Amino acid sequence: MELEITIRKRASAFAAEVAALVKQSIAEQVARAVGASKPATRPAKATGARVARAKPYSPKGRKLRLPPHCIAPNCTKPYVGGSKRSFTCDQHFKASKVEKRKWLAAWRETKVKG
């Protein structure tokens, strides 16, 4: 009988402990969820709007930037015909489409950097 009683006592104590732990963990999770969601959403929206406003697309900076000369590497001849002929001189206009595309891609990269 005594053993049964001690077991029951311990079992009830254990149950109470588990219940307390569960309550605590739930409270922590709720606090974390509430605490994490509030600062994460509000400043993110605010900074996003600020960033969008900080970089206005000014018409002054919208210059059409063209290559200074033929886009072929190590060629300083002026190009003929502009974009119609991929900004190549008479000599390099005969180059293959693949090569011209490569040159154009290289030119675009320098455009982004500068």
**Residues binding Zn ion (CB under 5 A):** 70, 72, 75, 77, 89, 92
Minimum CB separation from Zn ion for residue 74, in Å? 9
Residue among 60 and 94 whose Cβ is closer to Zn ion: 94
CB of 48 to Zn ion, least distance (A): 45
Q: In 3-state terms, what secondary structure has residue 58?
A: coil
Please state the closest distance from residue 72 (CB atom) to Zn ion, in A.
4
**CB-based contacts of 79, cutoff 8 Å, min separation 6:** 67, 69, 70, 71, 85, 87, 88, 89
Question: DSSP code of 79?
Answer: P
71 and 86 Cβ atoms separated by less than 8 Å: yes
User: Which residue, 92 or 100, is less far from Zn ion as judged by CB?
Assistant: 92
